[in-house]
Structure formats: structure tokens, C-alpha cells
């Protein structure tokens, strides 16, 4: 099996796991608050990454270097990003929160202008307009001329999560830490903060074994295994576009699982909005691919 085929298989594994997380979020949040879910998932993910860091012989390096960056990066991811994302899933149907969260790549292109001094191309602007037209369709549930949102705060949380995620990656553009070490260090900073928020907030509550299983699943697979599989895919592939396009497989699978497992009725507005968002992302991907081939 050649490197590219291995990379595609790793990428498909990551996408398959990411396709389940919208359902896992909604199931877990039926028992737990966003803060409780975040704490449990972060703990599981931290243990998983710690085992990998030790197994790969990187613990000494991880303990010595990189903590200055981790001090602020850990507050953004996992603390701020996931708390806001889980708050969005707690208030919105999973299909809406999932679709709105897919605009993070477009948010990154917009934020790169003031942060990295990059320029928006005509394609960037068109892609943004198309994708955020999809956001409007989803937020208004098809009543595009009606500004009376069903849950405006949920929509704000979902869009804020995209800004936090995009901002996190832009500010980490020059991060020289290895990805696995960076993730473990960030969670090492974030976990004590989440623990303190939980202690001085709602406290630790037992919600039963199903809730524990759902939280462990989110931490192990959404934040742990999927991350490792995606890193392997990106590292092995000859051209990033060969695996980056796989992410477009995730939304339809996510919608199907939300319908089957959670029982969410699939709204026509979600389909229309998601198609517009994916069309905007596809234009952006096509532009990136054209630039790479030009070089």
C-alpha cells in the first residue's frame, strides 16, 4: 500500500469519527451541562495524549519546552472553543450547530487579513458571500426575510466557535511545537481551568453510566483518536488537497446519524444552507488547489 493510499484511509477514519460527534454531543448533553461534558472529555483526551507522548518518547521534550505558548493557547483550545461549541449544541438542533460550525475555514480567510496581512481574493469574497448566505438560511430556518431567529443566542455561540477556532489556528501559524505535544500541553493548561470552573460552579455530579460513556466517547474519539488519524493522513500524503477534500463527506453522514440516533427531523433549510456552505468551501478549496498547482 503506497503512502497516499494509507493517508486516504487515515483521513477517512478521522472523517468517519468526526461524522459521529454531532450526535455524540447531543446525546451527552441530554445528561450533562456543557461544562461537565467539556471537563470529562478534556480529562479523557488528556490521558490519551499523555500515553501517546510517553510511548513516543517525547515526554522530556514536552515538559521542558513550549509552555509559554501553551499558557494562552490552552485557554483558547480546549477551554473557550469547546465550551462555546457545546453551548451552541446545547441550544440548537445538532444539524444547525454542525452546519454553522463548518464556516470556520471561511472565518479563517477573513481573519487572516488583519492578523497575517493577507489579501482577500475575488474568489474569497464570493465564497464567503455564498457560505454566509447558507448561514442566514439555517439561522432563519428558511425564513430568509425574517430576522426573528428561533434561538439567536445559539446561533451566536455557533458562529463565535468558528471565530475562536479560526483565530486559534491563525495565532498558532508559527507554532514550532509538534502537533501531539502541542495538543497535550494545551490540554494540560486547560484541564485545571475547567476543573476550577466546575468546582466553583455546578460541582461534580454523577449522571449515570450512559452519560459517562458519552463523555468518554467525545474525549477519546473527537479530541483524541480523530486528531491522531488526521495528523497521520496529512503527514503521509503527497499533496494535502488529496485528504482535505475528504471533510466534505462528513456533513451528510452527520445529518443521517442525527436523524437515526437522536431523532432530529431534517429541516429543508438545513439542507439548503449546508449546500451553500459546502459550495463556498469548495470554491475556496479549488482556489487553494489552483495556487498549489501553479507553483
3-state helix/strand/coil string of 126-151: HHHHHHHHHHHHHHCCCCCCCCCCCC
Chain centroid to CA 137: 21
pLDDT at 290: 59
Q: Residue 233: is its pLDDT beyond 60?
A: yes
Any idea which residue has 449522571 for its cell? 207
d(CA 224, CA 222): 6
Q: Residue 1: is its pLDDT beyond 60?
A: no
Nine-digit cell string for 255:
445529518
Residue range 119-159, pLDDT digits in tens: 878 888 888 888 888 888 887 878 877 766 678 899 999 99
**Cα separations in angstroms, 222 against 22, 133, 136, 185, 226:** 10, 28, 27, 17, 6
> To the nearest whole percent, how much of the chain has pLDDT over 70?
93
pLDDT at 293: 54
DSSP per-residue string spanning 187-224: HHHHHHHHHHHHHTTT------HHHHHHHHHIIIIIII
d(CA 47, CA 26): 23
pTM: 0.85
Q: Residue 239: is its pLDDT beyond 70?
A: no
Amino acid at each position: 500500500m503506497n503512502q497516499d493510499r494509507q493517508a486516504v484511509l487515515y483521513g477517512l477514519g478521522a472523517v468517519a469519527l468526526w461524522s459521529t460527534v454531532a450526535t455524540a454531543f447531543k446525546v451527552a448533553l441530554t445528561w450533562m451541562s456543557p461544562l461537565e461534558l467539556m471537563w470529562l472529555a478534556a480529562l479523557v483526551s488528556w490521558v490519551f495524549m499523555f500515553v501517546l507522548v510517553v510511548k513516543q518518547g517525547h515526554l522530556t521534550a514536552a515538559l521542558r519546552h513550549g509552555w509559554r505558548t501553551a499558557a494562552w493557547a490552552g485557554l483558547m483550545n480546549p477551554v473557550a472553543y469547546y465550551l462555546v461549541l457545546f453551548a451552541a449544541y446545547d441550544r440548537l438542533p445538532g444539524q444547525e450547530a454542525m452546519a454553522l460550525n463548518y464556516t470556520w475555514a471561511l472565518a479563517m480567510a477573513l481573519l487572516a487579513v488583519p492578523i497575517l496581512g493577507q489579501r482577500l481574493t475575488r474568489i474569497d469574497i464570493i465564497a464567503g458571500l455564498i457560505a454566509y448566505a447558507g448561514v442566514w438560511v439555517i439561522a432563519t430556518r428558511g425564513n430568509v426575510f425574517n430576522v426573528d431567529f428561533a434561538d439567536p443566542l445559539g446561533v451566536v455561540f455557533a458562529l463565535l466557535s468558528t471565530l475562536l477556532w479560526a483565530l486559534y489556528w491563525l495565532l498558532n501559524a508559527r507554532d514550532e511545537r509538534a502537533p501531539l505535544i502541542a495538543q497535550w500541553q494545551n490540554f494540560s493548561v486547560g484541564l485545571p481551568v475547567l476543573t476550577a470552573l466546575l468546582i466553583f460552579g455546578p460541582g461534580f455530579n454523577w449522571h449515570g453510566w450512559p452519560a459517562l460513556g458519552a463523555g468518554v466517547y467525545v474525549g477519546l474519539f473527537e479530541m483524541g483518536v480523530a486528531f491522531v488519524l488526521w495528523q497521520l493522513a496529512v503527514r503521509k500524503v503527497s499533496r494535502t488537497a488529496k485528504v482535505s477534500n475528504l471533510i466534505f463527506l462528513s456533513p451528510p453522514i452527520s445529518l443521517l446519524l442525527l436523524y437515526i440516533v437522536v431523532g432530529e427531523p431534517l429541516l429543508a433549510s438545513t439542507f439548503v444552507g449546508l449546500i451553500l456552505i459546502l459550495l463556498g468551501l469548495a470554491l475556496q478549496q479549488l482556489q487553494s488547489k489552483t495556487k498549489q498547482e501553479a507553483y
